[in-house]
A = this chain, B = another copy of it.
């Protein structure tokens, strides 16, 4: 589909992080944006930071598009209200689950207003942050992030085109899934890791500090998203419960096998069971695509030792820049104690040999 652009006015219902960020991004194109939020203060902040003008109840508004950026729990009812209040507008929501919203929406509209659904498209911009609220808003928040369009069978071509234009105008990368495909996908790539990360982290509540002093990057990486906001995730997990349930039952089957193996670690086949658990993890992990949606494992890693002083990593990356190699990704090793760190750098395999040679010549200690 050839992306067109929005002309406005655009009404954004809900001025939290995402709603305000959408407003900021569209305003950057000079599009007329109207923001509204049940919380007067949230709306005031959104207007102050330039996410749009306040909705004036007295004034008549005929928006090209209504973006429902409300919490998942109330999304369906806000969408239903918008479809009725603005009979010529396309309405999209941005909730991170789609089947539950569509089902509830159909119920709210009832049999005699199903026709309105041709103006509705469910969408999901995958650009969350730890921070929330309009203060954290950013017009560039959706830059290069996936934005999933989940039109229903009755969504009109025009409605899909407008939803598509919204994602394009915010520089997002557009994907198109059915609502069911979307919910199955996010259950696996988003909700499963969130739940497992929380399950690992909750084991640390009673851990003696001296044990935690041995924590390394493995534990830190696995538990990072365990810091996510409970209020939001309760709604997400609840709304996608059926899809997540299937996956967690599969996880429990694997976990039960592991527990039985750990009960008799010297029994025949125990080693094989453990090897299979690890090998299946290897197999799944290699399927995760690389940065920029490239193929998995597109890059090769190398490690460089640096002093943990200001400017050291900058010096390293400056020299890599001079060498003419692009750093695709960078990780710093968190290690206890001394002020020496390892910096892991990923580069295109074709660049690796030359980079190692040049860095070594320049006196860097490279770990192959």
- Asked if A284 and B205 make an inter-chain contact with CB atoms under 8 angstroms apart, the answer reads yes
Q: Can you pick out 15 interface pairs between chain A and chain B where the beta carbons lie within 8 Å of each other?
A: A126-B214, A140-B340, A190-B219, A193-B219, A196-B222, A202-B280, A204-B287, A230-B278, A231-B275, A234-B274, A252-B255, A292-B338, A310-B326, A310-B327, A314-B320
Contacts of A330 in B (CB 8 A): 313, 330, 332
Q: Which residue of B lies closest to A241 (CB)?
A: B265
Q: How many residues of A contact B (CB 8 A)?
A: 143
Given contacts A185-B210, A189-B219, A251-B199, contact A279 B230 (CB under 8 A): yes
Judge if A173 is at the interface, Cβ distance under 8 Å.
Answer: yes
Which chain A residues (271-321) contact chain B, with CB distance < 8 Å? 271, 274-275, 277-293, 301, 303, 305, 308-311, 313-318, 320-321
- Asked if B259 and A223 make an inter-chain contact with CB atoms under 8 angstroms apart, the answer reads no
Given contacts A198-B280, A287-B205, contact A329 B332 (CB under 8 A): yes
Judge if A92 is at the interface, Cβ distance under 8 Å.
Answer: no
Judge if A154 is at the interface, Cβ distance under 8 Å.
Answer: no
Secondary structure call for the A interface: helix
User: Within the complex, what minimum Cβ distance (angstroms) separates A273 from chain B?
Assistant: 9
- Asked if B278 and A198 make an inter-chain contact with CB atoms under 8 angstroms apart, the answer reads yes
Judge if A78 is at the interface, Cβ distance under 8 Å.
Answer: no
Which one of A2-10, A50-58, A141-149 is at the B interface?
A141-149
- Asked if A289 and B212 make an inter-chain contact with CB atoms under 8 angstroms apart, the answer reads yes
Contact with B along A212-225 (1 / 0, CB 8 A): 11111011111111
- Asked if A337 and B146 make an inter-chain contact with CB atoms under 8 angstroms apart, the answer reads yes
User: Within the complex, what minimum Cβ distance (angstroms) separates A65 from chain B?
Assistant: 22
Kindly identify which residue among B130, B143, B338 contacts A340, using a CB–CB cutoff of 8 Å. Answer: B143
Given contacts A198-B280, A207-B287, contact A252 B250 (CB under 8 A): no
